[in-house]
Structure 1
Amino acid sequence: MAVSSSDHHGSNEPEPSDSLRTFGAVYQGFRENAGFTQESLAPEIRYSRDFIASIEQGRRFPSKQFIDRSEDVLNACGVLHKAARPLTRKRGLATWFRQWAKLEQQALSLLTYECRLIPGLLQTESYARAVFMDQLPPLDDAQIDIQLAARMERQRLLWERPNSLYGFILEEHLFLRRTGGNDITRELIDHVLNIGRLRNVEIQIMPLVRKTHAGLHGPIRLAETPEHEWFGYSEGQESGQFLSDPKVVATLQKRYATMRTQALSLEDSVSLLERMRGEL
C-alpha cells in the first residue's frame, strides 16, 4: 500500500486504513492486558518492537505467522485470527499500491504523467505481459497471470465511470522503445488511440525534443475524491508514497498543469501516434 510523505519520510509502510487501525487497536488491547510492553513482547514472538508498533498503528499487514505467535503468547483465544479476517489482500497488486488503487475506483478525476512505461490503465494485455516477463527477480507463470488479471480489471474504470475524467501525459520515447517488439507496440498504439476516443479520456504526448519540461522530477499521479479533495501518488523501485500533504499535492498539480501546456495538443498527439504507428 502507500505512505504519506508528509508524516513518514523514507518509510515504505502504508498510511493507516480503518481495518488495519481496528486490528491494531485490538492487538494493543491484548498486549496490554497480558502485561507486555512492545519491547518485552518482541523477543517472545520473535518480531521487532518497531514491527509491533507498526501493526498497532495500522501501518503493516500482519502475517499469519505473526498472528499465530501472538495468539499463543497473548492467550488471545482465536480473537486475533478473527479480527484479521477482514484484512484480505487484493491479489495481483503490490502492497504499496492497493490504497491508491482503491482511490482510483472512486476518483472524479485521475491525472497521470509517466516517463518510464505506459501506465497500467492504458496497457494492452500483450504489453503488460512483456513488462511482467522482464521483471527481476523473475515471476513464474502463475504470478504473471494473477498480476495480469488485476491490471486488466483496473482498466474497466475507463468505461464504467464515464463521468470521471482521466488525463494522461505520456513521453514519446515510451512508444519509441518498442517494449515487447514491433507487433506489441503496434497493437499498443492502436489501443491507446482507441481509448483516447472516449469522451472522458484525454491523452497527450510529451515530445522527445523539448527545451523546457516541468516533469523532470519524475512520474506524477493525482486523484480527486468525491469530496473534491486531491491526493497524489509517487512510486519507486519497490515502494510507493501516498501523498496527502496539501502543499506537496499543490506542487504536483502545478507541474502537471504546466506539462499540459508543454505537451502536444490532443489532436497533434493523435497525429504523432498515427505517424509512429505507420513507421512500424
Structure 2
Amino acid sequence: MANGSRQAAWEFFGTELKRRREDAGITQVDLGSRVFVSGGYIGQFEQAIRKPQLDVAQRIDEALQTDGIFERLCRKLIDDPRYADYFAGVVELERLATKICEFAPTVVPGLLQTADYARAVTIAANPFKPDSYVDDIVAARLERSLILADATRPEYWVTLHENVLRIPVGGPQAMAAQLEHVARLMRERAAVVTVLSFGAGAHAAMNGSLKLMEFEDAPQVAYTETSFSGTLVDDPAVVKRAQRAYDLLRVAALSPEASLALIDSAAEDFRRCASTT
C-alpha cells in the first residue's frame, strides 16, 4: 500500500470512528475513558493525526460494539511489508511516544539515518534484493524520521557507542554526511545525543540495541533488538530494569558538548578521507 493510500485509509478509520461514536451518543472523553486513553487522543484518532495501537482498536470495538471492524482495519494498516513483523508495532509506538530514549551499539538509529546511510545498511543486510525493495525500505526509514520534524515531536535522547562513529557505512563521503546530519539535529535541539566512548571501560562492552518509549496515557515500554529479531516489552519490572541499564550507559557517556565535538571530529576525518580517494 502506497504512503498516500495508507494515509487515506487511516483517515477513513478516523471518519468511521467518529461516525460510529456519534451514532452511539458517546463523547470523545467518554469513549477515551472506556478504552483507557484521553478524549484528546480519540479526537486525534478521528483526525488521523495519531494511529491507535491494536489493543486500543480492540477496546474501541468492544466499547462501540462494532463487531471487530476497527481491529480488522488496524491490523490491515499496520501490516506494512517495509517493516519486519516484530518491528511494525514499534513504528506505530514511535508516533505516539512523548519521549524516546535509545542506545545504539553499532549503527546509527533509524530515526537519525540519512538516505545514503540507510541504503548502505539495507543493501548490506539484503544483498540479493532488487533496487525496488531497497528503495521501499529507505523511504520507510526516512518517513519514520519525520516525527523529529513534527511540532509535537517526542523528546529524543540517544546514546551512540563510539563504534557508530568509526564504522564507515556507505564509504567515507556517506559517513561524513551522516555524522554531519546527526550534528545538525543536535544543534537544532531536535535530539540530545551522547557518545559512549571506548574509554568508558566495561560500559563500552555492552551490546544489543535498546529503545525506551514513554507515552502520555499509557505505560512505558522497552524494545530490544538483535540482528535478526526484536522484542517489545511492557512488563513493568523488566522495563524498569531496562531503564536502569540505559541510565547507567548515559551516565558513563560523554557530555552532549564533548559528544558533539567528537562527532564533528569524526565527520571531518571521513570528509578528509573522501577528498583523497
- For normalisation by structure 2, the TM-score amounts to 0.69
Secondary structure at the residue paired with 1:166? Answer: strand
1:93 and 1:162 mapped to 2: Cα distance? 24
Corresponding letter in the other structure for 1:194:
R
Q: 1:249 aligns with which of 219, 239, 245?
A: 239
Residue 150 of structure 1 corresponds to which residue in structure 2? 140
Residue 255 of structure 2 corresponds to which residue in structure 1? 265
Residue 187 of structure 1 corresponds to which residue in structure 2? 177
Structure exhibiting the larger radius of gyration computed from Cα positions = 1
2:153 and 2:122 mapped to 1: Cα distance? 31
1:216 aligns with 2:253: no
1:17 aligns with 2:7: no
Query: CA offsets, 1:18-73, max 9 Å, x none?
Result: 49969xxxxxxxxxxxxxxxxxxxxxxxxxxxxxxxxxxxxxxxxxxxxxxxxxxx
- Offset, 1:215: 7.0
Compared CA separation, residues 266 and 257, structure 1 to 2 (3 A): same
Equivalent pairs: percent with the same residue?
28
Residue 87 of structure 1 corresponds to which residue in structure 2? 75
Q: 2:129 aligns with which of 139, 151, 155?
A: 139
1:107/1:224 contact within 8 Å kept = yes
Moved more, 113-122 or 135-144: 135-144
Compared CA separation, residues 188 and 18, structure 1 to 2 (3 A): same
1:248 and 1:215 mapped to 2: Cα distance? 21
Moved more, 240-249 or 195-204: 195-204
Higher helix fraction (1 or 2)? 2
2:161/2:196 contact within 8 Å kept = yes
Residue 110 of structure 1 corresponds to which residue in structure 2? 100
Secondary structure at the residue paired with 2:211? Answer: strand
- Offset, 1:90: 2.0
Corresponding letter in the other structure for 2:202:
T
Query: CA offsets, 1:222-257, max 9 Å, x none?
Result: 000112521000112332211011111101111111
Query: CA offsets, 1:96-134, max 9 Å, x none?
Result: 111111110010100000112110001100000011111
2:208/2:225 contact within 8 Å kept = no
1:162/1:200 contact within 8 Å kept = no
The alignment yields a C-alpha RMSD, in angstroms, of 2.7
Unaligned runs of 5+ in 1: 1-15, 23-78
Corresponding letter in the other structure for 1:87:
R
Compared CA separation, residues 233 and 180, structure 1 to 2 (3 A): same
Corresponding letter in the other structure for 1:186:
A
2:192 and 2:245 mapped to 1: Cα distance? 17
Q: Choose between structure 1 and 2 for higher RCO, CA contacts under 8 A separated by at least 6 residues.
A: 1
Secondary structure at the residue paired with 1:220? Answer: strand
Compared CA separation, residues 145 and 268, structure 1 to 2 (3 A): same
Secondary structure at the residue paired with 1:155? Answer: helix
Q: 1:164 aligns with which of 154, 164, 170?
A: 154
Compared CA separation, residues 136 and 144, structure 1 to 2 (3 A): closer
1:122 and 1:129 mapped to 2: Cα distance? 13
Secondary structure at the residue paired with 1:148? Answer: helix
Detail structure 1 runs of 4+ shifted over 6 Å in the superposition.
Answer: 19-22
Compared CA separation, residues 243 and 193, structure 1 to 2 (3 A): same
Residue 118 of structure 2 corresponds to which residue in structure 1? 128
- Offset, 1:92: 1.4
Q: 1:236 aligns with which of 226, 231, 254?
A: 226
1:202 aligns with 2:192: yes
2:205 and 2:145 mapped to 1: Cα distance? 25
1:214 and 1:205 mapped to 2: Cα distance? 10
Query: CA offsets, 1:198-242, max 9 Å, x none?
Result: 334100011022223187252110000112521000112332211
Query: Across the two proteins, how many residue pairs are aligned to each other?
Result: 210
